Amino acid sequence: MADKRILITGGAGFVGVHLARRLIDNGDEVVLLDDFSRGRDDAELAELTARDAITTVTGDITDAAIYERLGKGFDQVYHLAAVIGVRHVMERPHDVVRINAVGTLNLLDWYADGGANAFLFASTSEAYAWTKQVMNIPTPTPEDVPLALTDIKNPRSSYAGSKIFGELATTQYGEMYKKPYAIVRFHNVYGPRMGWDHVIPELHERARGGENPLTVYSADHSRAFCYIGDAIDGITAAIDVATDGGPCGTYNIGNDDEEITMGDLATRLLATADIDAGIQPLEAKHDPIKRRCPDVSRARADLGYAPKVDLDEGLKRTLAWYDDHPRPT
C-alpha cells in the first residue's frame, strides 16, 4: 500500500523530476501532470515512469477538462507548473500572467472541491524583488516583507505578479476552506537536469566550448545558490508539516550559507571543471537587483530545514551531469 497519493503539476520539469524520485523512493504513489511545454520526455523521466508507483498525465493546467481525468482524493498536490524563464517573460508576458494565474485558480478550485487534502504552491524570490527596489528591506530577506509591483508595464513584472497572485490565492483558498497549504519561495535552486538556460549550465557550456575570457553578466551581483536535494527536503517538510496540523504559511527555501557574487561563482565553476580561463565581467542584462539572499530561519524553526550540500559539492554533482548531457540539438 502506498504511503500517500500525490499529484505534481509541472512534474516533468527540473524540480518535478527530483521531487517525484524522492517521493516514490519514500513509498508514495505519484501522478505527474505536465504539458511538456518545457519539461522533457528524456531518459531520466522514462526511468522514473517505468516504475509502478508513478503515472504521467499529459495535459495543461488551464484546461478545465484535465481535472476530470485526474479524479479526486489525492493526499497532497505540489503545484510547480508555470511559465518561467526570461525569454518567455520578455516575449509573451500576457501568457505568463494568463497561464500562471488561470492554472493556479483551476487547481485551487479542484483542491477546494476534494481534489487534494493539502496544497503546495511554488513561488519565488522574485515575489519581493520589486519591493527591494523601492523599500529598504533587509537582506537576508525574511518572508513577511511587503510584496510590491512598481512598474506593471515592464514585461518582467508578469512573472513576479503571477507568483504574488498565486501566493494570495493559495492563502485565501487554504484559509477559507480550512485545508492545509504551504507556499515556498525558491531562491536559485540548481542541480542536475535543470535545463540549459540557467546561469550555472550556461557558464559551464561556454567555458567547455573554450570561451576565454569567460563573459560573466552582473559579475558583482550576489545570489545564494541552493542544491536541489536541499530544496526537496524543504518543500516536502513544508507540506508534511501543514498536513500534520502544523503551521500553514510561506517559507523561503534557499541556502543562506552560500551567498556568492556571479564573478566568484564563475571562478568556482572553472576550478571545479578544471578549466583554465579568465573572467570578463559585464553589466547586468535584465536584473537590477544587486543582492538577493533568503533568511531561512522560519523554515529552520518550523520545518527543521537545514541545507546540507555546499556549493563545491553541489557544483561537482551538477557539472558532472552536464558533462554527460550536452545541450540537445
Ligand X SMILES: NC(=O)c1ccc[n+]([C@@H]2O[C@H](COP(=O)([O-])OP(=O)(O)OC[C@H]3O[C@@H](n4cnc5c(N)ncnc54)[C@H](O)[C@@H]3O)[C@@H](O)[C@H]2O)c1
* Interface ranges with ligand X (CB under 6 A): 9-10, 12-16, 33-39, 60-62, 80-84, 99, 103, 122, 124, 186, 188-189, 195
CB of 228 vs ligand X, minimal distance in Å: 8
CB of 266 vs ligand X, minimal distance in Å: 18
The DSSP call for residue 125 is: G
User: How far apart are the two ends of the chain, measured CA to CA in Å?
Assistant: 42
Q: How many residues does the chain have?
A: 329
Segment (H or E) for 78: strand 74-79
Distance CA 120, CA 286 (A): 29
- Closer CB to ligand X, residue 81 or residue 242? 81
CB of 92 vs ligand X, minimal distance in Å: 12
- Closer CB to ligand X, residue 44 or residue 211? 44
Helix (H, G, I), strand (E, B) or coil at 180: coil
- Closer CB to ligand X, residue 37 or residue 133? 37
The DSSP call for residue 326 is: P
Burial class of residue 151 (count of CB atoms within 10 Å of its CB; 0-12, 13-18, 19+):
exposed
CB of 276 vs ligand X, minimal distance in Å: 29
- Closer CB to ligand X, residue 115 or residue 279? 115
- Closer CB to ligand X, residue 4 or residue 18? 18
User: By beta-carbon distance, which residue lies closest to ligand X?
Assistant: 13
DSSP letters along 46-76, please?
HHHHTSTTEEEEE--TT-TTHHHHH-S-EEE
Tell me the backbone φ, ψ of residue 261, rounded to 5 degrees.
-75, 160
CB of 32 vs ligand X, minimal distance in Å: 9
